[in-house]
């Protein structure tokens, strides 16, 4: 019984991580950059939701505004900080991403202050089946994550833009020779990634009703880990990685003696998984060519 | 080319060696404060990052006190005060550069730092310079241990943990006791360790649940662990405590009472959190009550809110406000004793005067205590109140 | 005698200032500041800055070996530093306290040996996955390793727990920076000679093309682990020196953010560019310290904004393809060359012309090793769709 409750709590946390990881893996797989500012886009989304929710009291509308605002922010960042470095080493872009991350956190502190703010969006109550109960928040989070995963997969594989994204991720030069505007595709990728970050921000707040300037940094790192564990660029992999992370973390926290070591155990298991499957759980082995 | 370099390097070595021996004994005891036109009080604390609200509280409280004092101190002491604060992100390794920079710009008295780890570093840096330190909020026992120039305005970890254990042993005899703390936070783990030690043979019956900075996304596991406890002790900060309470509301539990230390102060003014939605009783042990009905505390709260809003209104600010006033009172008392402090007096001399005065002085009518005295070791001696933020819903 | 003469002529022939300039700069700085410090002419804040620059550069050099020369991304180098710092500090505190108070220099040396060795052992452990994992997968393992080390130190009581360890024997600020600079010089000599040796060429060969290197008989596993171990030892020694500058420090200091800060130094300096790494590490430390001490009170919140803007501007200036022309016109190298030419002209009254023979004829010039790392190749792995596409890689046709 205890075990089942922990498992469901883990799924619910994992759902949030999975949502963040989905956004991460899009940018990561196509723009080929470690976007350390992704977590801070979640923070931007969080604050936007807070402002509009406090104004209107409508959680869905607030999330919608956050999505729009995050897309604008994400595209703006991409144009100003990342685009000038297209063609340079991805590590250089990583540094600007860190710069952007510092910038966003400081701006948030200037605008909203340093205090944590609580934003309680909604509690839909719990679903009781026999002896155990699942909160509807968990169900909504998980089903949204799965829906977004399926939608993303369909989008990437079925639509023209999606296929162009695949082409860009496969071979940038060849894609541009085929008439694909690489710049536009990467901008679209950032727009989608930022929109997903806003959605993840909304579900994050639903799970953890807390908005602060550093709310996105650790979940961002965990999502990055989840994306790598699942296999870089694999959308279901990111989902799986996120859920796995959430379950391991919750299980560790449920045992008081292990709680202080939760992060160590989590990351330790991930190292083991990677050693067994060097390209992630769902990643395909890439044949190296000379 | 190589010869040239060799010759150059040789010449340089020689010059330096000569210089080294010729000009030995440069003034390390230089009084950097000799050109001060204002008496300089400095400190460092987290002004950005996770703990920024506490550092900002100290900054605002101290600034407010300095502004008030400056209106009268010219007449009383013959000089005004200047307060400056650097950002250390609660990281001891950021402290030394800030400390030395302040020292060389003429700092005469310090408020230590805001957080414990940083304060230990500051204390060590200040040792040879004799910079007196009265910290508003560094609670660790290592802050005052083995030194005569370090004083606390807050209760020490030892003090708070002991008081909490005493309260639990005296008042919570029938109930199952749980404790919820942060293992990687110096304040929380410091109080927790004393609490468990003071509980003695009852410690093993205490249900323990913990979290870390990196795993505080979700508290539902810890709620599960503590669900059968009627009494939960929370030596943590209010932003985390409020989330635990909200999470606990969603699951079946037997919790009747939340009890915390001064970190819980501010929980009732947190944006977006309504204490009335929590069915349990919330109380904490503190030296500052932000809901005080009258007295100095109410004046402070009103003025602070008017100037800075309620955002950073917490005991850190109140404590810093009192620290500045305590320094001011001590300097006045010294003047009355015939040991007048000059505006450009060297820190070491100021330190001697402060040490003497703080052992003698009894302050009354302060924000964080009606009577404040200091013990020999530098810990504060003042009454602590258990403030009940919200009664139990029956 | 004759052999020595040949060596000397060869040395003279292959000698290039730029290969040695950093030795002179570091040694010069050590002597200059050592002298000024002994004369009491330096403020303590400046000595503190020198300390921070010193250990920052040492750790950046360590990371530069892995990222710049082996071509593997490490996001956990702070962990090696923390192992050195905590173990070194622990040994000075509890195992040889008598030595620490009577002859602190010997205690520090012993601590450096122990801290370096311990970090090296962990470097070996982290080197093992490097044999199996590539690119981001390895990066995430190093990041995970860093976080694990942090959590372990937070929970081992002898290292002080969350409050951190207390260093009872902090080294005297008036002499520690000289020791740090001496270690830095030693590190520099080791790193440069390593890179210029045949082992160094093997390592860069692995970076540029692992399969090709393997096929020419380079022992890839050996070199990968060796580089990780050497790098970890250097970072560990840097950690011990760091510990010497502090009275107390927390495990939380060495999180992934700190690792990324070290990475920033290496990347800004130009991958695989030792001189650049040193300069950028010094500049970044300086900027950080100055911003922290200048922007106080209400301005403190602007610190990160300034730092972020400086960082973004520097990276874009250094790396943006669009600015290539501008860069090649106005850069440090050209500036330094101009100054050098001016000096030569002033002293010899002769126009300094590049010696064409020297341009081609040198065997062991480490700076000739290609410095541009094809990180695109290293970091990229294909975005693999979930549909059943024919696997193009299977046939094994070349690119």
Q: How many CB atoms lie within 10 A of CB A146?
A: 14
CATH number of the domain bearing residue C271: 1.10.3470
The token duo for B97 is 């550069």
CA closest to A233 among chain C residues? C383
Comparing B17-31, B177-191, B262-276, which segment has the lowest mean pLDDT?
Answer: B17-31
Question: Quick check: is C202 in a domain?
Answer: yes
What whole-number distance in Å separates Cα of residue A132 and Cα of residue A109? 41
Question: Quick check: is C150 in a domain?
Answer: yes
Contact check, Cβ <8 Å, C383/A279: no
Nearest to B273 among A9, A118, A218 (CB): A118
> At residue B205, does pLDDT exceed 80?
yes
Q: What is the pLDDT of residue C108?
A: 94
Task: Output Rg (C-alpha) for chain A, integer angstroms.
Answer: 19
What whole-number distance in Å separates Cα of residue A31 and Cα of residue A193? 11
CA closest to A262 among chain B residues? B215
Contact check, Cβ <8 Å, B217/A106: no
Q: Pick the more confident residue, C396 or B337.
A: B337
Question: Quick check: is C19 in a domain?
Answer: yes
> At residue A211, does pLDDT exceed 60?
yes
User: Which residue from A241, A289, A279, A256 is spatially nearest to A24, judged by alpha carbons?
Assistant: A241
CB-based contact, A107 to chain B, within 8 Å: no
CA distance A52 to chain C (A): 25
Comparing A175-189, B341-355, C212-226, C377-391, which segment has the lowest mean pLDDT?
Answer: C377-391
For residue B79, the SS3 value is coil
What whole-number distance in Å separates Cα of residue C298 and Cα of residue C35? 38
Mean pLDDT over C230-243 rounds to 97
Confidence of residue B354 (pLDDT cuts 50, 70, 90): very high
> How many structural domains are present in chain C?
1
Vertex C30: Cα angle to C24 and C35 (nearest 5): 125
Contact check, Cβ <8 Å, B23/C40: yes
Contact check, Cβ <8 Å, A166/C383: yes
> At residue C353, does pLDDT exceed 60?
no
Q: Which chain A residues are closer than 8 Å to B236 by Cβ? A: none
Interhelix angle C256-268/C135-155, rounded to 10 degrees, is 140
> At residue C143, does pLDDT exceed 70?
yes
Q: Which chain A residues are closer than 8 Å to C386 by Cβ? A: 153, 157, 234-236
Confidence of residue A86 (pLDDT cuts 50, 70, 90): confident
Dihedral sign for Cα atoms in the order B276, B281, B284, B287:
positive
**Residues in Cβ contact with C4 at an 8 Å cutoff, skipping those fewer than 6 apart:** none
**Residues in Cβ contact with B64 at an 8 Å cutoff, skipping those fewer than 6 apart:** B303, B304, B307, B308, B317, B321
CA distance A253 to chain B (A): 6
Q: What is the pLDDT of residue B265?
A: 84
Nearest to A250 among B207, B213, B221 (CB): B221
Contact check, Cβ <8 Å, B87/C296: yes
CB-based contact, A16 to chain B, within 8 Å: yes
> At residue A271, does pLDDT exceed 60?
yes
User: Can you name the residues that pair with C249 across neighbouring β-strands?
Assistant: C165
For residue B282, the SS3 value is strand
For residue range B39-89, what is the model confidence (pLDDT) as tens digits?
Answer: 999 999 999 988 898 999 999 999 999 999 999 999 989 999 999 999 999
> At residue C390, does pLDDT exceed 50?
no
CB-based contact, A225 to chain B, within 8 Å: no
Contact check, Cβ <8 Å, C304/A105: yes
Q: Which chain C residues are closer than 8 Å to A263 by Cβ? A: 147-148, 151
**Domains in chain B: ranges and CATH:** 33-155+295-383 (3.40.50.2300), 162-286 (3.40.50.2300)
Q: Which chain A residues are closer than 8 Å to C399 by Cβ? A: 289
Q: What is the pLDDT of residue C18?
A: 67
The token duo for B162 is 């002991």
CA closest to C30 among chain B residues? B13
CB-based contact, B145 to chain A, within 8 Å: no
Question: Quick check: is C384 in a domain?
Answer: no
Q: What's the length of chain A?
A: 290
For residue range C268-281, what is the model confidence (pLDDT) as tens digits?
Answer: 988 888 999 999 99
Q: What is the pLDDT of residue C349?
A: 59
Nearest to C43 among B12, B104, B123 (CB): B104
The reported pTM is: 0.89
User: Which residue from B5, B7, B12, B15 is spatially nearest to C20, judged by alpha carbons?
Assistant: B5
> At residue A161, does pLDDT exceed 70?
yes
The answer to whether C175 and C40 have CB atoms below 8 angstroms apart is no
Contact check, Cβ <8 Å, B212/A263: yes
Mean pLDDT over B121-132 rounds to 93
CA closest to A220 among chain B residues? B214
> At residue B24, does pLDDT exceed 50?
no
What whole-number distance in Å separates Cα of residue A96 and Cα of residue A258? 37
**CATH fold group of domain A2-117+131-276:** ABC transporter involved in vitamin B12 uptake, BtuC (1.10.3470)
What whole-number distance in Å separates Cα of residue B354 and Cα of residue B366? 19
Mean pLDDT over C150-177 rounds to 91
What whole-number distance in Å separates Cα of residue A153 and Cα of residue A78? 23
Average pLDDT, chain C: 84
Q: What is the pLDDT of residue C385?
A: 41
> B-C interface: how many C-beta pairs under 8 angstroms?
151
Nearest to A95 among C211, C311, C387 (CB): C311
CA distance A59 to chain C (A): 31
Q: How many CB atoms lie within 10 A of CB C27?
A: 18
> At residue C381, does pLDDT exceed 70?
no
Domain ranges of chain A: 2-117+131-276
For residue range C15-62, what is the model confidence (pLDDT) as tens digits?
Answer: 667 678 888 899 999 999 999 998 888 999 999 999 999 999 999 999
Stretch 266-285 of chain C: residues touching chain A, C-beta under 8 Å: 267-268, 271
DSSP code of B105?
T
Block residue for tokens 């679903």: A127
Q: Which chain C residues are closer than 8 Å to B21 by Cβ? A: 38
User: Which residue from A257, A223, A19, A289 is spatially nearest to A138, judged by alpha carbons?
Assistant: A19
The chains in contact with chain A, meaning 3 or more Cβ pairs closer than 8 Å, are: B, C
CB-based contact, C165 to chain A, within 8 Å: no
CB-based contact, C300 to chain A, within 8 Å: no
Contact check, Cβ <8 Å, B96/C293: no
Contact check, Cβ <8 Å, A253/B215: yes
Label residues B269-298 b or e (16+ Cβ within 10 Å = b).
bbbbbeeeebebbbbbbbbbbbebeeebbe
CA-to-CA separations, A49 to A209, B264, C125, C182, in angstroms, rounded = 11, 26, 45, 54
**Residues in Cβ contact with C314 at an 8 Å cutoff, skipping those fewer than 6 apart:** C268
Q: What share of chain B is helix, strand, coil (3-state, %, to 5)?
A: 50, 20, 35
> At residue C1, does pLDDT exceed 90?
no
For residue range B247-270, what is the model confidence (pLDDT) as tens digits?
Answer: 898 888 899 999 999 888 888 888
Vertex B138: Cα angle to B132 and B139 (nearest 5): 120
Question: Quick check: is C360 in a domain?
Answer: no
Q: What is the pLDDT of residue C69?
A: 93
> At residue B332, does pLDDT exceed 60?
yes
Mean pLDDT over C330-339 rounds to 74
> At residue B29, does pLDDT exceed 70?
no
What whole-number distance in Å separates Cα of residue C250 and Cα of residue B89? 12
Q: Which chain A residues are closer than 8 Å to B221 by Cβ? A: 6, 9, 250-251, 253-254, 259
Q: What is the pLDDT of residue A150?
A: 95
CA distance A175 to chain B (A): 40
Q: Which chain B residues are closer than 8 Å to C44 by Cβ? A: 100, 103-104
β-bridge pairing B257-260 and B231-234: parallel
> At residue C311, does pLDDT exceed 90?
yes
Block residue for tokens 């989330």: B243
Contact check, Cβ <8 Å, A253/B271: no
Nearest to A264 among C132, C148, C267 (CB): C148
For residue B145, the SS3 value is coil
> C218: domain range?
15-329
CB-based contact, C182 to chain A, within 8 Å: no
Q: Which chain C residues are closer than 8 Å to B15 by Cβ? A: 35
| Probe site for chain A from C142, C162, C316 (most A CB atoms < 10 A) | C316
For residue B133, the SS3 value is strand
Question: Quick check: is C342 in a domain?
Answer: no
Q: What share of chain A is helix, strand, coil (3-state, %, to 5)?
A: 75, 5, 20
Contact check, Cβ <8 Å, C163/B142: yes
Q: What is the pLDDT of residue C196?
A: 87
CA closest to A281 among chain C residues? C137
What whole-number distance in Å separates Cα of residue C399 and Cα of residue C394? 13
Q: What's the length of chain B?
A: 394
Q: Which chain A residues are closer than 8 Å to B222 by Cβ? A: 253, 259
> At residue A173, does pLDDT exceed 80?
yes
Q: What is the pLDDT of residue B370?
A: 87
Question: Quick check: is C5 in a domain?
Answer: no
CA-to-CA separations, B85 to A176, B60, B120, C297, C301, in angstroms, rounded = 54, 10, 17, 5, 12
Question: Quick check: is C366 in a domain?
Answer: no
β-bridge pairing B109-113 and B132-135: parallel
User: Which residue from A250, A217, A247, A7 is spatially nearest to A108, judged by alpha carbons?
Assistant: A217
Q: What is the pLDDT of residue A246?
A: 94
Q: What is the pLDDT of residue A2?
A: 77
CB-based contact, C10 to chain B, within 8 Å: no
The token duo for C334 is 């050209």
The answer to whether B284 and A129 have CB atoms below 8 angstroms apart is no
Contact check, Cβ <8 Å, C45/B100: yes
CA-to-CA separations, B343 to B32, B34, B106, B129, in angstroms, rounded = 12, 8, 11, 17
Block residue for tokens 């993303």: A152
What whole-number distance in Å separates Cα of residue A78 and Cα of residue B230? 52
The answer to whether B205 and B177 have CB atoms below 8 angstroms apart is yes
Q: What is the pLDDT of residue A290?
A: 53
What whole-number distance in Å separates Cα of residue C329 and Cα of residue B366? 65
Label residues C348-379 b or e (16+ Cβ within 10 Å = b).
eeeeeeeeeeeeeebebebbebeeebebeebb
Contact check, Cβ <8 Å, A208/B217: yes
The answer to whether A69 and A45 have CB atoms below 8 angstroms apart is yes
């Amino acid at each position: 019984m205890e075990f089942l409750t922990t498992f469901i709590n883990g799924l619910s946390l994992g759902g949030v991580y999975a949502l963040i990881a989905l956004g991460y893996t899009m940018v990561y797989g196509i723009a080929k950059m470690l976007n350390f500012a992704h977590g801070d886009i979640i923070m931007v989304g969080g604050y936007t939701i807070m402002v509009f929710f406090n104004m209107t009291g409508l959680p869905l509308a607030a999330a919608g505004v956050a999505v729009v605002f995050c897309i604008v922010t994400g595209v703006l960042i991409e144009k100003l900080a990342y685009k000038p470095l297209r063609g340079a080493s991805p590590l250089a872009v990583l540094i600007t991403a860190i710069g952007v991350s510092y910038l966003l956190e400081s701006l948030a502190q200037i605008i909203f202050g340093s205090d944590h703010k609580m934003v309680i969006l909604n509690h839909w109550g719990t679903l009781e089946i026999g002896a155990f109960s699942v909160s509807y928040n968990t169900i909504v989070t998980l089903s949204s994550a799965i829906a977004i995963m399926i939608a993303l997969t369909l989008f990437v594989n079925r639509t023209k833009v999606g296929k162009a994204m695949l082409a860009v991720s496969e071979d940038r030069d060849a894609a541009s020779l085929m008439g694909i505007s690489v710049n536009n595709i990467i901008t679209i990728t950032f727009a989608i990634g930022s929109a997903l970050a806003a959605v993840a921000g909304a579900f994050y707040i639903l799970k953890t009703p807390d908005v602060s300037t550093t709310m996105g940094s650790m979940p961002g790192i965990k999502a990055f880990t989840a994306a790598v564990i699942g296999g870089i660029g694999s959308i279901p992999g990111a989902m799986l990685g996120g859920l796995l992370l959430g379950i391991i973390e919750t299980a560790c926290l449920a045992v008081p003696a292990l709680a202080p070591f939760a992060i160590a155990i989590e990351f330790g298991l991930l190292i083991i998984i990677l050693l067994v499957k060097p390209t992630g759980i769902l990643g395909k082995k890439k044949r190296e060519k000379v | 080319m190589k010869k040239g370099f060799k010759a150059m390097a040789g010449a340089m070595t020689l010059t330096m060696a000569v210089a080294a021996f010729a000009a030995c004994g440069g003034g390390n005891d230089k009084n950097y404060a000799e050109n001060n036109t204002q008496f300089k009080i400095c400190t460092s604390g987290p002004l950005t990052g996770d703990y920024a609200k506490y550092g900002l509280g100290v900054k605002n409280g101290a600034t407010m006190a300095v502004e008030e004092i400056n209106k009268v101190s010219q007449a009383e002491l013959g000089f005004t005060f200047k307060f400056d604060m650097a950002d250390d992100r609660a990281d001891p390794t950021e402290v030394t550069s800030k400390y030395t920079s302040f020292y060389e710009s003429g700092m005469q008295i310090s408020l230590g730092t805001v957080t414990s780890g940083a304060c230990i570093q500051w204390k060590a840096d200040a040792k040879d310079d004799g910079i007196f330190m009265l910290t508003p909020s560094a609670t660790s026992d290592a802050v005052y241990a083995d030194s005569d120039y370090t004083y606390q305005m807050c209760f020490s970890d030892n003090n708070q943990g002991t008081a909490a254990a005493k309260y639990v042993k005296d008042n919570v005899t029938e109930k199952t006791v749980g404790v919820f703390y942060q293992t990687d936070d110096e304040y929380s783990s410091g109080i927790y360790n004393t609490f468990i030690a003071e509980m003695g043979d009852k410690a093993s019956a205490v249900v323990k649940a913990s979290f870390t900075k990196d795993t505080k996304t979700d508290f539902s596991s810890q709620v599960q662990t503590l669900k059968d406890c009627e009494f939960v002790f929370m030596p943590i900060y209010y932003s985390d405590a409020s989330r635990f309470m909200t999470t606990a509301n969603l699951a079946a539990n037997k919790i009747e009472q939340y009890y915390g230390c001064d970190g819980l102060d501010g929980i009732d003014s947190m944006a977006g959190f309504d204490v009335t939605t929590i069915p349990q009783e919330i109380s904490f042990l503190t030296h500052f009550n932000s809901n005080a009905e009258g007295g100095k505390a109410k004046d402070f709260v009103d003025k602070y809110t008017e100037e800075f809003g309620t955002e950073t209104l917490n005991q850190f600010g109140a404590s810093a406000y009192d620290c500045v006033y305590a320094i001011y009172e001590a300097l006045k008392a010294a003047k009355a004793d015939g040991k007048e402090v000059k505006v450009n007096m060297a820190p070491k001399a100021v330190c001697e005067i402060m040490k003497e005065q703080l052992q003698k002085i009894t302050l009354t009518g302060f924000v964080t205590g009606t009577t404040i005295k200091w013990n020999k070791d530098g810990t504060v001696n003042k009454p602590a109140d258990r403030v009940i933020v919200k009664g139990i819903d029956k | 005698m004759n052999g020595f003469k040949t060596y000397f002529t060869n040395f003279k022939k292959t000698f290039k200032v730029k290969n040695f300039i950093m030795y002179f700069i570091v040694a010069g700085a050590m002597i200059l500041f050592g002298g000024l410090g002994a004369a009491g002419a330096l403020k303590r804040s400046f000595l503190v800055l020198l300390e921070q620059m010193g250990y920052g550069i040492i750790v950046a050099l360590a990371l530069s070996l892995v990222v710049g020369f082996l071509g593997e991304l490490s996001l956990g180098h702070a962990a090696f530093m923390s192992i050195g710092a905590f173990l070194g500090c622990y040994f000075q505190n509890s195992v040889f306290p008598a030595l620490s108070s009577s002859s602190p220099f010997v205690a520090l040396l012993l601590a450096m040996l122990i801290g370096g060795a311990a970090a090296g052992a962990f470097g070996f452990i982290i080197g093992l996955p490097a044999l199996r994992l590539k690119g981001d997968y390895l990066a995430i393992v190093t990041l995970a390793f860093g976080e694990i080390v942090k959590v372990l130190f937070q929970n081992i009581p002898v290292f002080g727990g969350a409050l951190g360890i207390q260093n009872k024997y902090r080294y005297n600020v008036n002499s520690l920076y000289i020791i740090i600079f001496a270690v830095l010089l030693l590190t520099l000599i080791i790193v440069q000679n390593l890179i210029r040796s045949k082992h160094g060429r093997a390592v860069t060969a692995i970076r540029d093309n692992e399969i090709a290197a393997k096929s020419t008989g380079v022992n890839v596993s050996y070199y990968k682990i060796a580089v990780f171990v050497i790098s970890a030892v250097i970072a560990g020694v840097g950690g011990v020196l760091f510990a010497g500058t502090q009275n107390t420090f927390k495990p939380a200091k060495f999180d992934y953010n700190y690792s990324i800060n070290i990475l920033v130094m290496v990347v800004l300096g130009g991958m695989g560019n030792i001189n650049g790494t040193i300069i950028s590490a010094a500049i970044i430390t300086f900027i950080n310290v100055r911003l922290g001490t200048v922007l106080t009170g209400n301005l403190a919140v602007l610190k990160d904004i300034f730092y972020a803007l400086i960082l973004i501007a520097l990276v874009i200036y250094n790396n943006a393809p669009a600015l290539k022309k501008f860069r090649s016109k106005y850069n440090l190298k050209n500036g330094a060359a101009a100054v050098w030419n001016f000096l030569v002209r002033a002293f010899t009254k002769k126009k300094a012309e590049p010696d064409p023979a020297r341009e081609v004829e040198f065997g062991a010039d480490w700076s000739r090793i290609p410095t541009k790392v094809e990180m695109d190749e290293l970091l990229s792995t294909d975005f693999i769709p979930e549909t059943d596409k024919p696997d193009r890689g299977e046939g094994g046709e070349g690119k």
